[in-house]
Each structure stands twice: as C-alpha cells, then as structure tokens.
Structure 1
C-alpha cells in the first residue's frame, strides 16, 4: 500500500494504450513493400515498448549498429505517422481506472519516451487524455528514461513532490527512472514487458496484472 500519494504517473505505450497493432503495421508495411512476407502481430507485440528499435528488429533483424538502421528508422517514422491512430486503443480497464483515480482525488499524468511528434497527435485525438495534468514526451527534456529528468519535469508541472507520486510502467527502464526520481514504482505486467523480461528482478515497489489492481495499492486521504 502506497501512502501519501497525490499523483500517479504512467508510461504510455504498453501501460495506458495498446499501440502495438499500429507500430507493427508500420513495420510490416515496410516488409511488404520489399516483397517480404507479412509477420503476425505476436512477432511485433513483445518489442513494441522499444518503438522503432524494437519494430525494426522484429521486421528486419537489424539493430542500431547496422549500416541501414538510420535510413530504416526514418522510413518507419514516416510509415507510423500515417497509421498511428488507426488501431491504437486504451487497454481494457484503463478508462475506468483513470476515472476512479480522479474520483478519489488523485491527479494523473503521462511520461513516455515516445517523441512529441507522435505523443501529441495521439493524446490530443484520444478523449482518454483530456484529464491528464501533465504529458511529458521523450524529447521534452534533454534526457529520456531511464533518466529521472522526464519524471521530475512532470512533477514540476503538476506541482507535487516526487515523494507524492508513483510511476507505473511496463519496462525495466520505467522502474529505474521512477526509483531514480525518488518515486514508488509499479510494474504493469499486462503490458509489453519485452522478450524474456524478468519483471521480478526490476525492483519495482509493486506489480499489477491489470489496470484496476492499481487502485488497491493507493490509500485514499
């Protein structure tokens, strides 16, 4: 049970929204344009939390060290821009969970490594985000997660101290960033997690298997 919490911060992809279908479609379209076969979504989903890096690894087996990586990344970003709102939806229970958080007096916000180029259109188009007190993207501050800077920027915008926040995410870097910022942390086991992730080894303060489980961890003032 977390006590003294006034605000809850969330990662975006894999925690609040299921964007894997659109991310995968952008990468798969690149394969199809090259005459390659389509891959099923379950090949892309575990790597969706890593954005372009994960999608290009799934689609082409390339890493950032590959000579073609930067050109492929530019192509992927262009493709994703064209489809980023076609299939993306909030995870089951997320809307209800956020509504109950607010009813109980908690503010909430988003801290994502997704660049503003994509975060802005998604959060502006989805009614879910109308009540967010802060939305911080991967390029809002000079550092991205696992650096604590984006989380601390969110607390500044929300006028709360880090000790009054918890951070919820589905990747180890989320837990590392939250701990570095001095926040309680929650691992979202329903998210993308990453291939072979050992969630128990991340060192999160708590874990949840569904969004609504989060409410059981918060003491209402």
Structure 2
C-alpha cells in the first residue's frame, strides 16, 4: 500500500488534449502556415513547451512561448477534470494519503488554469517545468517532489498517461500506474497498474 500518490496533470487529472491541440494548431498556422498533425500532437503532449517548439521548427523564444501560453489559457476555459478525479482525490485525502503533482507545464500554466486551481487544495507540493533543470522523461522532477514530501521511493506511486511519465517513474525507481482514461497510446509502457478509472486508485492505498 502506498503512502504517497503523485499525479501528472494533462491527460491524468484534467482532460486538456483539445486545448493543447488547439493552441499549437493556432501557433503553427500563424508562424509556419501549416497544419498541426495528430502525429505532432503525440510528440507534444506532456513535453515542456520550449522543447516542443524546437521539435516543431519554431524559434524557442520567450515571445513564442508567451504566444502559445496565451492561446492555451484561452482554451483552458473549456477543459475539465476527468470524471471521478475530484471524488478520488477527496477519498485519498480522507485516508491521509499525501499527494503531489509533477507536470511538464511551466508555473504560469499551472497557476492560471481555473480547473486545476479547484483541485490544488488536495496537493502538498507541485513541481512544474520551472522547478528543475531537467524535465520528464528524466526522473529529476519526480525525485524532487518526493524529497520535498519526505517520501521514500518505495512508498510512492506515480500516475500518468504517457510514456514520458512512465520513463520518469521507472528511472526514479518509483512504481507507475497508467491512467487509461487519458492515455493515447500504450506503446513502450510497462506499468505496475493499469487503472481504467480514477476510482481504481483506492485499491492500492
């Protein structure tokens, strides 16, 4: 049984796929005059914005990041937590489970998301892309949040929806659970648990 549960955000706590796709689509069309493809979306989801821009052939500058963020915040108004998320967070809180977040979003994208704001009361610590020099799939952000929480890796479970989340947990020595409700692909993921719905988390605490 786990004493610490760490969550990814996009595709795990909140259904933001359409918002992310729409924001990158607008940016790519405006800057490159091209369409944003589903294949590019697979590469972009769960990766820090600056790294995505480089892969897309867009200048990784503060101006480009600010443009993407402004579009994303606009589309955030249409996002919502996955069904059952707030209920399971409440259950875990009542059981005394300590919870944290490790996300590839930067701090502004975390703090200005109205949907995520409503869930923040459940989390002790949040690690965003601004908080560590290296990001997922590197294990550093996950190890950082566990350090802040005073948690041993053997007592923690990381829940995410992408192969980047899995690799982060694997290399940190932390058990990983795949959030099937938000996962786009199972390729390359060898999860300890495959949760079909958020309520399944209650079975491991």
TM-score range, shorter chain: 0.7 to 0.9
Residue aligned with 1:22, SS: helix
Deviations 1:11-33 (A, max 9, x none): 11000011223223323444676
Q: CA–CA distance in 1 between the matches of 2:134 and 2:30? A: 34
| Structure 2 gap ranges (5+) | none
Q: CA–CA distance in 1 between the matches of 2:82 and 2:12? A: 8
Q: CA–CA distance in 1 between the matches of 2:4 and 2:69? A: 35
Give matches, 1:29-178, under 5 Å. 29-30=26-27, 48-50=45-47, 52=49, 64=55, 66=57, 68-70=58-60, 73-74=64-65, 76-80=67-71, 82-83=73-74, 85-122=76-113, 126-178=117-169
Q: CA–CA distance in 2 between the matches of 1:139 and 1:215? A: 31
Q: CA–CA distance in 1 between the matches of 2:168 and 2:73? A: 31
Deviations 1:147-206 (A, max 9, x none): 11111111122121111110000011111111211211101111143xxx334x412111
Match status 1:214 vs 2:201: yes
Q: TM-score of the superposition, structure 2-length normalised?
A: 0.81
Residue aligned with 2:11, SS: coil
Q: CA deviation at 1:52?
A: 4.5
User: Which residue of 17, 21, 26 corresponds with 2:14?
Assistant: 17
Deviations 1:39-91 (A, max 9, x none): 89x899755434658987xxxxxx7263x453794364243354153112111
Residue aligned with 1:102, SS: helix
**In terms of Rg, which structure is larger?**
1
Size of the aligned set, in residue pairs, is 203
Residue aligned with 2:112, SS: helix
Q: Residue 84 and residue 154 in structure 1: after superposition, are their counterparts in 2 closer, same or farther (change >3 A)?
A: farther
Match status 1:182 vs 2:173: yes
Q: Residue 33 and residue 65 in structure 1: after superposition, are their counterparts in 2 closer, same or farther (change >3 A)?
A: closer
Q: Residue 131 and residue 29 in structure 1: after superposition, are their counterparts in 2 closer, same or farther (change >3 A)?
A: same
Contact 1:123 1:129 in 2 (8 A): no
Q: CA–CA distance in 2 between the matches of 1:192 and 1:69? A: 29
| Structure 1 gap ranges (5+) | 57-62
Q: TM-score of the superposition, structure 1-length normalised?
A: 0.76
